[in-house]
Amino acid sequence: MTLPRTYRTVGLTLRKSAVGETDLVSVLYTAEHGKLEVLARGARRLTSKLMGHFEPLTLLRLAVARGRALDIVAEAEVITAFPMVKTDYATTARGLYVAELVDAFSALAAANPELFDLALQTLDAIGDDLASELPLRYFDLQLLRLSGFLPELYHCVECGAELEPERHRFAAGSGGTLCPDCTPPDVIVRPLSLAALKVLRLLHRTESVARLPELRMPAGVRDEVRRTLSTAIQYWLDRPVRCQVFLDAAKLA
Ligand SMILES: [Zn+2]
């Protein structure tokens, strides 16, 4: 059976790079095909119909022709460019953080429709509530879950004992929470407060970002939740998150 020569899909643009005089290569995330790398011929020409379509964080409806090396964009139509996310530097940085992590955690051509939905819903939530960072923390935890790296939050990863209030710590390198009696060698163990653990569990069991309750966390808890998730993400990524620099610069995460 031969594959059809063209196919239609909907994709979220993650990043782009210039190729040749006027072409560009766009990396998109799609529900059916996972991460997709496509060539958009002439898209950098000012007169091109595709001009501006491949800016990061644009949801596109595409017709794509199969090519020998890269598939080639035949048609592209913008569904939304998430204008609310791009209202200012800080929210744009949050959007790009989502794009960077989807890119980093998804192998080429491995479909994960739930991750596609999570990315779109997170972008909507960022645009809906410009002041809240909870959508990003929800994204962090659910990204880990959908990638098979969900940290343990209920038991000690070493001895299996159920955690008791105020008797818990966190070690990204061990895969989650630890009781005070277990200290595995060669991993960084961090303190974890009960308040932060409760927020992490809430993020875990809430079924979608739209269903998150209004939560006004004290700054200390907010920072602790962010640091805990960020150590888990960096542990699996094995490098820092580039967009974190911009978030820190904007004093927002
Ligand atoms: Zn233990």
pLDDT string in tens for the chain (253-residue length): 566 799 999 999 999 999 999 999 999 999 999 999 999 999 999 999 998 999 999 999 999 999 999 999 999 999 999 999 998 888 999 999 999 999 999 987 789 999 999 999 999 999 888 778 899 999 999 999 999 999 999 999 999 999 999 899 999 999 999 999 999 999 999 999 999 999 999 999 999 999 999 888 899 999 999 999 999 999 998 887 888 777 777 665 5
Last residue of a domain, one of 45, 60, 80: 80
Q: Do residues 190 and 218 both lie within one domain? A: yes
Q: Do the domain assignments include residue 138?
A: yes
Q: Sheet with 190-191: list strands edge to edge.
A: 176-178, 169-171, 190-191
Span from the CA of 149 to the centroid of ligand 1 (angstroms): 20
pLDDT for 253 equals 53
Q: At what angle do helices 219-237 and 194-205 cross, to 10 degrees?
A: 60
**Cβ-proximal residues to 47 (8 Å cutoff; 6+ apart), any chain:** none
| Residue 14 main-chain phi, psi, to 5 deg | -105, -45
Positive or negative CA dihedral for 206, 210, 213, 218? positive
241 CA from centroid of ligand 1 (Å): 30
CA atoms within 13 A on the CB side of 2: 4
**pLDDT for 144:** 96
**Residues 147, 76 share a domain:** no
- How many degrees, rounded to 5, is the angle at CA 215 between CA 190 and CA 192? 10
Query: What distance in angstroms lies between residue 182's CA and the mean position of ligand 1's atoms?
Result: 4
To 5 degrees, how large is the angle CA 153–CA 137–CA 179?
20
Beta-carbon contacts of residue 67 (< 8 Å; ≥ 6 apart):
39
Based on the fold, state whether residues 163 and 52 are members of the same structural domain.
no
Q: In terms of residue numbers, what domain contains 41? A: 6-80
Q: From the CA of 208, how far away is ligand 1's center (Å)?
A: 31
Q: What ranges in 30-181 are assigned the alpha helix state H?
A: 89-105, 113-128, 134-146
The CATH number assigned to the domain holding 172 equals 1.20.1440.120
Distance 151 CA to ligand 1 centre (A): 15
Output the CA 240–ligand 1 centroid distance in Å. 29
Rounded to the nearest angstrom, the distance between the alpha carbon of 148 and the centre of ligand 1 is 22
Instruction: Report CA(167)–ligand 1 centroid distance (Å).
Output: 10
| Distance between Cα 159 and ligand 1 center (Å) | 4
51 and 113, same domain (yes or no): no
Q: Is residue 178 part of a domain?
A: yes
Task: Name the residues around ion ligand 1, CB cutoff 5 A.
Answer: 156, 158-159, 179, 182
Looking at the fold, whether 95 and 76 belong to one and the same domain comes out as no
CA 131 to centroid of ligand 1, rounded, Å: 38
105 alpha carbon – ligand 1 mean position (Å): 29
Claim to verify: residue 136 and residue 64 sit in the same structural domain: no
Ligand 1 centroid, distance to 221 Cα (angstroms): 24
Counted domains in the chain: 2
Cα distances (Å, whole numbers) of residue 5 to 43, 50, 64, 68, 90:
21, 21, 8, 11, 41
What distance in angstroms lies between residue 183's CA and the mean position of ligand 1's atoms? 8
My answer on whether 163 and 202 are in the same domain is yes
- pLDDT given for residue 94 in this prediction: 94
Question: Is residue 1 one of the residues assigned to a domain?
Answer: no
Tokens of 34: 């996972």
Based on C-alpha coordinates, what's the Rg of the chain? 20
Q: Which two tokens mark 68?
A: 């020998």
Ligand 1: centre distance to CA 150 (Å): 18
The span from the CA of 228 to the CA of 188, in Å, is 12
